[in-house]
Amino acid sequence: MFSVFFIAAEELNFNEIVATVPWLDNGFEVIGMETDSGKATEIVMKLKPNVVFFDSKIPYLDGASFIKTVRENGLDTEFVILSAPETIEDARTFFQQEGIEYLIKPLQMDEVQFILEKLANKLTIKYSQQMAEPDESTSPEFTALVEYVRTHYYEKFTTEQLGKKFGLNAGDICALFLKNYHTTLACFVTQMRMEQARKLLNTSNFSLNQIKNECGYEDYSYFSKVFKEYYGTEPDFYDMERV
């Protein structure tokens, strides 16, 4: 799994985020949190997390200097800035730096999910050479689980729910997806959904709203955003002959 560390303004918000975000489904494990800006750099350098989330308004933390220091010390960490709406312009200077993602508070789960999948895909590519080769002796339970996901991609389920259904540990499911498919459960599901969306655009007379529903999305704007991330254009302007 990929590791996540938080630099949070207060522990209460941190606990709420940890409890509500589907980290495991996205291949992430939260390994800690720090509220003291003076200790942040030292702890991050010690733990070497794959991703650091930090509040842009945490007292005495210069985000730009923090990121620069971490990178100059050779730690190839991804960063996500948590910014309040009223500080969006202040934080925008960060966004221009390569590899910096951002989320606006209060967090919207669709936006969090979008960023986590982007990060998972980026980290998978970054560490692909270090990942184990696919294991042909994968258990029949995991094989059955993958087939279930392939045919039920439009449904909502979590790693823990699948674990109970197929008799597998949730952490093992996460590890097996990374090992055998070099992706996470959430990214795997999204891939299935996007392939189906493209197929329906190419072969059916369904409306975009119907296609969105068929692919398991409730909100059209989010469906459109994910589609654009995959195919470079929104479904409204999709050219069937391009792909």
What percentage of the chain carries pLDDT values higher than 70? 88
Can you tell me the distance from the alpha carbon of 79 to that of 102, in angstroms, rounded to the nearest whole number?
A: 8
pLDDT digits (tens, 9 = 90+) for 33-52: 998 988 999 999 999 999 99
Can you tell me the distance from the alpha carbon of 230 to that of 194, in angstroms, rounded to the nearest whole number?
A: 7
Domain 187-237 architecture? Orthogonal Bundle (1.10)
* Range ranked top by mean pLDDT from 72-81, 90-99, 105-114, 219-228: 219-228
DSSP 8-state code for residue 134:
P
The pLDDT of residue 239 is above 70: no
Instruction: Kindly list the domain boundaries of the chain, sorted by start residue.
Output: 2-129, 131-182, 187-237
Extract the tokens encoding 182.
Answer: 């070099």
The whole-model pTM stands at 0.88
Distances (CA, A) of 21 to 148, 174, 236, 239: 23, 16, 30, 35
CATH class of residue range 2-129:
alpha beta
The pLDDT of residue 62 is above 60: yes
